[in-house]
Amino acid sequence: MKKQLMAAGFVLFSLALPLKAEAFTGLSVIGDSLSDTGNLYNLTLNPQTGVGFPPPPYFEGRFSNGPIWIDELAQKLNLEAPTPYINFLNGATPESGINFAFGGATTTDVNTIVTGLPSFPQEVAALTALQPADPEALYVLWIGANDYLPTQSPDFIPFVNPDTTLASISNALQTLASVGVKNVIVPNLPNLGNTPLALNLNQLIPDTSERLNQLTKDHNDGLSQLIKSFNQNPVLGLNIISLDVNSLFSDPANLGFTNFTQPCLNRVAQTICNNPNEYLYWDEIHPTARAHSIVANAALAAIPEPSAVLGMLALGALGAAGVLKRQHKKSTFTPISRVLAAQSSRITVEN
């Protein structure tokens, strides 16, 4: 009998610890082009040419040459890829969650790619309007790069310190918590001064790379403290998962990249490199699909394992009764009626 109970205990213990892939009921996203899976493309779609921005050879509305980290993370979590918000407004039924991220989004109301397009505050408002949030879903918040990078937008002047950006992120996290969001993964920024854009500008303005890397460090340090304080606040009840993208790409050569100073896509010459997987950057600021895959793997690894203590408690409670039944709870996403009507306006893409 003792051996039977021990065997049953091991079985029950393993079943009481669900895999990470079964830990969340959905995936929703707010952010910029690093996480946009088609919002900007679908909203700028030209009915005559059937092409939106970014156009081919960008991959299916992503700012890369293939699937991005959001696509892969959803797959690794056994979830459908989140439905782009524009598709949702047009009647698509989300199977998992909604992606509110727009390329060009800053933490202000200004979108640096398309004049008048939604930015970070509008994304947060759209997500929270669909309350209550699913407490068992995973939410992604990755924003900030466009606040600091040089831009050709006439409506936005890049920030020279992270104060406004961090305040916006703090307000957004509090707002998400107020509608029931519990699990949020928040990546930090890679060194913006190491992008091909910054390295090229550095030849004209010698301190560009150093200044942007210092801004990146200041942002990441502040973000780390912000996350720490939020996780220690029991009133908010947030479980914020840090994702250290900066450290991840601190040594690109060690990750197998042979070129991490130039873009694979030369948009001026309209040429593409022969070996995209060896390039860190697809264009002047956006990673290649392989780099995105590395981010997705790191995101999955950053998600904590289920508690072994809970598994042992479940074993003790059920072992005496000889019950070896695993309970699996999975809630489905309930489509919500449209909350934001698409406003008809002339959209102009910045050069």
pTM of the model: 0.84
Domain parsing of the chain, residue ranges: 19-247+289-311
Alpha helices, DSSP H, located in 238-302 = 245-248, 289-302
Predicted local confidence at residue 20, as pLDDT: 59
Instruction: Output phi, psi for 84, to 5 deg.
Output: -55, 140
- The Cα 105–Cα 33 span in angstroms is 7
Nearest to 20 by CA among 301, 330, 239, 294: 301
In single-letter form, the type of residue at position 101 comes to A
- The Cα 331–Cα 234 span in angstroms is 25
Structure tokens at 295: 């981010």
- The Cα 141–Cα 187 span in angstroms is 7
Q: Does the pLDDT of residue 183 top 50, yes or no?
A: yes
Structure tokens at 220: 């990441």
**R_g of the chain, CA atoms, integer Å:** 22
Residue 215 makes CB contacts below 8 A (sequence gap 6+) with: 148, 159, 160, 161, 162, 192
Structure tokens at 342: 């698409």
Q: How many CB atoms lie within 10 A of CB 302?
A: 13
Identify the three-state secondary structure at position 184.
strand
Q: What is the mean pLDDT of the chain?
A: 85
Q: Does the pLDDT of residue 14 top 70, yes or no?
A: no
Q: Does the pLDDT of residue 80 top 90, yes or no?
A: yes
Residues 21-37 have pLDDT tens digits of 668 999 999 999 999 99
> What is the CATH class of 19-247+289-311?
alpha beta
- Maximum Cα–Cα distance across the chain: 79
Nearest to 140 by CA among 57, 216, 200, 82: 82
In single-letter form, the type of residue at position 30 comes to I
Predicted local confidence at residue 21, as pLDDT: 61
Q: Does the pLDDT of residue 340 top 80, yes or no?
A: no
CA distances for 97 relative to 126, 175, 221, 254, angstroms: 13, 18, 30, 35
- The Cα 184–Cα 182 span in angstroms is 7
Which pLDDT band holds residue 131 (cuts at 50, 70, 90)?
A: confident
Residues 185-232 have pLDDT tens digits of 999 999 999 999 999 999 999 999 999 999 999 999 999 999 999 999
Q: Are 84 and 37 in contact (CB under 8 A)?
A: yes
